[in-house]
Amino acid sequence: MSERLKTVVFPVAGLGTRFLPATKVVPKEMLPVMDKPLIQWASDEAVEAGADT
């Protein structure tokens, strides 16, 4: 039997200079990918994998 995920770490540190000029206004983890911010895609995937909310 597999254990539930207890902790999820999202490595989103840094200034996002490779995404300039988009990251001058919006943090890179909040940049939209299709219809959702990037961080939401990652958190949705973690919840589907069994992470505690």
3-state SS, the chain, equals CCCCCCCCCCCCCCCCHHHCCHHHCCCHHHCEECCEEHHHHHHHHHHHCCCCC
In a domain, 1, yes or no: no
In a domain, 10, yes or no: no
Find out whether 40 and 48 touch, Cβ atoms under 8 Å: no
In a domain, 8, yes or no: no
In a domain, 34, yes or no: yes
Please give the pLDDT value at position 1. 52
Domain count for the chain, please give it: 1
Please give the pLDDT value at position 53. 67
**For 4-53, how does the pLDDT look when each residue is reduced to its tens digit (9 = 90+)?**
777 888 888 888 899 899 889 999 999 999 999 999 999 999 888 888 76
In a domain, 53, yes or no: no
Residues in the chain: 53
Please give the pLDDT value at position 20. 92
What residues have CB less than 8 Å from 49, skipping those under 6 apart? 5
Please give the pLDDT value at position 30. 92
* Domain membership of residue 31 as a residue range: 19-48
In a domain, 3, yes or no: no
Please give the pLDDT value at position 33. 92
